[in-house]
Amino acid sequence: MTDDGRIRASLPVLSQLTEAGARVIVMAHLGRPKGAVDPEFSIAPAGDRLRELADFPVAIAADTVGGDAQNRAAALADGELLLIENVRFDARETSKDDGERSAFARELVALTGANGAYVNDAFGAVHRKHASVFDVAGLLPAYQGDLVHTEVEVLKTLTESPKRPYVVVLGGSKVSDKLAVIENLMGRADHLLIGGGMVFTFLKALGHNVGSSLLEEDKLDVVKGYLQRAKELGCEIVLPTDIVMASKFGADAEHEVVAAESMESGAFGASGLGLDIGPASGEAFASFIRSANTVFWNGPMGVFEIEAFAGGTRAVAQALADSEAFSVVGGGDSAAAVRGLGFDEADFGHISTGGGASLEYLEGKELPGLTALEGN
């Protein structure tokens, strides 16, 4: 267990339900076990951590809808909780066949017995049309959990009524993961700050050599189009002016700061790897954040897990922590970075548990898990 953020985030609703006397059965997934039982992806370690954090009894089933889960569900007393095994151990959970998913959903629902209800408090899964997210909601009275409700309200603010200036900070490894978000937010944000591995495709699109840094050649034309379109929409795309280049990927790598427009001019030449934005860029990004009234951040600025390449991410996180703006940290690696770098989560307006779901919402996509809860 390297990061218990999502477990902690789930506690308020689980506590409300158990305190009200509900018999709670928790469905969750971990990784991509491809529909087969794989001990590497067992949910049990998460259950053990939940036991440590919870002030209510927690039982852990050895299977998903098998004999152990059925027996433990039937034995639950009021105010007790049962965590069933990884729902993705059953191939029907993620099946594209509606009938297969529905059959699995009915077996999950059967665990509740009479008068069951469904609460979705996992915003990070609502973009999936999976049995435990979509189909179960059609078989039981279904409700938004507080965490899901808060996520939706926060994301509506970012897309419908952000207080300006509105600054979006995007990082992470691949620009392809963020293209739709960039396209949808260019017309809404005032400034779009780009860091992380994805920045090298932008820098290459401007004609700069990037050494051996991560590069998506097939996205260069798209990025060039975005740079032009952003100008037309009045959104400033801000790129780093300096980069931390390394001799290799690793904690023991030699590294130096070079200008973004001449990354191959340093000691490592064309073999150098860009692994973080430089200190001048970190300060510039922080300045934009300090002047904003709304900030959305998704994706680290560099390989923050290695101290030598954590400076850019730390600068962004510190500026957000110090800011009085409405700030949203967009889940996944960004949230892990906040915790991993030792920041107090209370210093940020909202730390999303959404990850990919948050991005798809910001892209303007329909999220099946939310659609299934409409009207509830």
For residue 79, say whether it is annotated as part of any ligand binding site: no
For residue 334, say whether it is annotated as part of any ligand binding site: yes
**Residues classed as catalytic:** 6, 174, 332, 356
For residue 331, say whether it is annotated as part of any ligand binding site: yes
The strand ranges marked E within the chain are 24-26, 58-60, 81-83, 118-120, 142-144, 166-170, 191-194, 236-238, 242-246, 255-259, 273-277, 294-298, 326-329, 350-351
The upper half-sphere exposure of residue 165, i.e. CA atoms within 13 Å in the direction of its Cβ, equals 16
Q: Are 118 and 148 in contact (CB under 8 A)?
A: no
For residue 369, say whether it is annotated as part of any ligand binding site: no
DSSP characters over 209-267? --TTS---GGGHHHHHHHHHHHHHHT-EEE--SEEEEESSSSTT--EEEEEGGGGGGST
Burial of 149 (0-12, 13-18, 19+ CB in 10 A): middle
For residue 332, say whether it is annotated as part of any ligand binding site: yes
Strands 273-277 and 191-194: unpaired
For residue 164, say whether it is annotated as part of any ligand binding site: no
For residue 128, say whether it is annotated as part of any ligand binding site: yes
For residue 269, say whether it is annotated as part of any ligand binding site: no
Q: Evaluate the omega torsion of the peptide bond into residue 279 and state whether it is cis, within 30 degrees of 0.
A: no
For residue 30, say whether it is annotated as part of any ligand binding site: yes
Cα–chain-centroid distance for residue 251? 25
For residue 274, say whether it is annotated as part of any ligand binding site: yes
Q: Known binding site for substrate: residues? A: 6, 29-32, 88, 128
Q: Known binding site for ATP: residues? A: 178, 274, 305, 331-334
Q: Known binding site: residues? A: 6, 29-32, 88, 128, 178, 274, 305, 331-334
